[in-house]
Structure 1
Amino acid sequence: MDPIDVAVDLAGVDDLLTDDERDIRAAVRTFAQARIAPHVADWFERGTVEDPRGLTRELGRLGVLGMHLQGYGCAGMTATQYGLTCLELEAVDSGIRSLVSVQGSLAMYALWRWGSSELKDEWLPRMAAGEAIGCFGLTEPDHGSDPAAMHTHARRYGDDWILNGRKTWITNGSIADIAVIWANTDEGIRGFAVPTTTPGFSAHDIRHKLSLRASITSELVIEDVRVPSASAFASVRGLAGPLSCLNEARFGIIWGSLGAARTCLSAALRYSIERSQFGRPIAGFQLTQQKLADMEVEYTKGLLLALHLGRRKDAGVLKPAQVSLGKLNNVREALEICRTARTVLGANGISLEYPVIRHMNNLESVLTYEGTVEMHTLVIGKAMTGIDAFR
C-alpha cells in the first residue's frame, strides 16, 4: 500500500471494513484510476466528457449502476458497498460520481420503488447494463429548495397525460433515454417515466459552468408531452416520491465527497514532502503540519460518520435527518479540506496538473445540490427541536 494512503488513514478505519467491502472498493478504484483519472482533467478543461455512453456501458459492466437495488440485473450490493463505490468514483471526479448517482439512486431508484412492473421490466435491466441512461427532473428555474411550488404540471387527457414545464440543472439530461419527471396534478405531485424521444421533449446542455465540468448538465423543456397512463407512478402522491429518491442520492454524496477530500489531502501531503523551501521540505514546518493534521482529523471524522450511517442503512434504521447530518457535515468539511490543500500547494494548487482546484470547484456544486446547506440545517434543526422553521 502507498505510504501516503496509510498516512491518510491514520485512525485505521480500513480495519472496520469487511473483506467483501474492500474487494468492491479495490475493483472500483482500479477501474476509476485506470479508465477515468488519466483523462478527467482534460474533460474538465474542455467542459465535456468523451464518449459518455461508452463510459456508462463500462460502468454497467463493472456492476455499479443501481448496484444497491435488488433484481432486474442490478447487483444487489449493500449500502456500505455502494457508499465505498461513490467514494472511489468521486476520488477521481464528482461529475463521474454524479453520473452514477443520478442513474442509480435517482432515475433507477424512482422506477424500482414507484414504477409499474412493466416500467421496471422495460427499463431497469437496460439501465443496470448502461445500455440506457436516465435522468431525474425535479429542480426548475424558479423552484429549487421549494419543489412543492413547481410550475411543471400534468393533466389527464383521456387515458393519457399531457405534461408541460421546464426542469434545469439536470445531470445526464441531453444523453438520457428515459426521464423521471415530477409534475403538479389535480391529485398532487406525481412522477412520470417519459422516454426522451417523446414528441415535445427536448434537452439543452448548460454551458459556461466552472464546476462539474466533467458532467453533462441540461435544461429539459417539456411542451405538450403526451404519455400513457401507465407512465405515471400509481402508488405515490406528493413530495414523498421525489424526496425518497433524493435521500438515496444524498447517501451517496455523504461518501462521495470524502473521495474528493481524500484525493486533495493525499495530494497536499505528497506535495509537502516533495516540495522544499528554505532548505527543507515544507512538510517540516509547523504551520504546514497543522494544516495536514486538521485535514486528517476532519476526513477521519467524516469517514467514521459515513460508515456509521452506512451500517444503519444496511440495518434498515437510517432516518432522513441522519442523511441530512451526513450530507451537511461531510460536504462542508470536504470542501474545507480541498481549500486548505490548495494553500499547501500554493500557486500549483490552481493548476489542473494537480487535482485540487478541480475537486474544490466541483464541491461548490455538491454543497448546493441534493439540498443546500440551509435546507439540511433546517432538517437537522427540526429533528432536534420539533419545530419546523422552513416557512
Structure 2
Amino acid sequence: MTQQTGTVTVHGTVADGFEAVREEFAAFVATERADYEGQLTAYVHGRRVVDLWAAPEADAAAGGDSLHGVFSSTKGAAHLVVALLVQDGVLKLDREVAHYWPEFAAEGKGSVTLRELITHRAGLIGIDAGFTDEELADDRVIAERLAVQRPFWRPGSAFGYHALVIGALTGEVVRRATGRTLPEVYEERVRAPYGLDFFLGLPPGHEPRFRTVLPMVPTPAQQAELDAVPRGPHTLSSIAFNSQVPDPGELTDFPNSPAVRASGQASAGGIASARGLAGMYAAAISTVDGRPPLLKPDTIAEVGQIHSLGFDLVARAPRAYGLGFQATGENLYPFLGAGAFGHSGAGGSQAFADPRSGLAYGYTRRRMAFPGGAAPENAQLVRAVHTAASAG
C-alpha cells in the first residue's frame, strides 16, 4: 500500500489494529522536508506488525531494504553480544576487566569491573591527544590506546557516556575471553541466524544498498540553539566525542566512511534498516520464526535494570543506563514498561525492546535530525505503536 504525502510517498504495511501507526507516520512525513527518507518497523511478541518507509517519489533507489548509518544504535548490537556471553557464563559482570585483559590495569584501573565498564562508569571516555580518523575506525587500536589511559574520573564514582569507545572496550573483553572479535560473535550468534539487515561490518555486496547520511539542516532558531552550547577544547564532552583534535570533521563523515562501514566499529559504525533494528530486539526477547528468544528472562531483567541514573558527566544532562543499553523508558518514553532497553543514534535512529508489552521497535532516517540522538518524531511514533500493541 502506498500513500502520497506531498512529494514523499509512504509505503508498506501494518497489521490489523495498527492503522493508527500508519496515520501517525504519514502525518509526520507531511511536515518534513521534500527529501525526507525514513523507515519504521515494529514487532509484537515476535510478529512483525508495522513495516513502513517513506522516500521522495522520484528516488527509486530508496526503499524498505535501504541501509542507513545508525550511529550509537550500534551499541545495542554490541551489548547484546555481551549479554549473551554473560548468560553463557563466559563473562562475569563483577569480575575485573583486567582478569580478561591484563594491560587494562594500567593507571589505576585494575579494580574496574565489567559491570562498571559497560554501564559507562569507568571514566575511560577517550584519550588526551584524541584519535585520528583511521584510529577511530579501528576498535583494536582504540582499545590499545585506552588500556594505558588514566581515567577521567575515579571509576565507579560517577558515569558519563563513552560515546565512541565503549564498543572497543567491551569488544576487547569479548576478544580476550573468546578469541573472536565482537563483530564475529555477533554475526554468528545474532545477525546470520535471523538474516538481519543490521551489520557490524558491511559486506561489499551490500554497499549499493547504503544511503549516504545527509547532514542536519537546522532552522535559524535551531542553529542559534546549537551555537549557544558551551564548547571547550579539553572538556569531558569534547574528549568523549573526539572534537578536541584539529579539524575533527562532521559527524556525518563517520558512517559515510567506507573504512568505518567495513570495520564494524562497535560503538557507532553499524549499518542497518529499521527492519534490522526491530528484528534484532524482537529476537532478543521473543520467539521469532520458531527460534526461542536469545535472552532468558533473568538476562532480560538484568540488562534492563537501571545501573547508572543521574547526571551524565559527558552529556551534561540527566541520563539512565542499563547494562550497555539505554534505559529507554526512563530516558525518553515513560509510558513504556519498566525494564525497556535499547539504544538511539545521533542521526535520529531509535531501537528498543519493551519486554512487558512484547514490543520491539526500529526507526531510521537518512538526514540527521535536530538536535541529535533519537529524532523527536519518535515520541509520537513510539506512543502510537505502543498504544496499538497494548490494545491487542
Pair in the same fold by TM > 0.5: no
More helix by share: 1
Higher relative CO (Cα under 8 Å, sequence separation at least 6) belongs to 2
Q: Which structure has the larger Rg over C-alpha atoms?
A: 1
* TM-score, length basis structure 2: 0.29
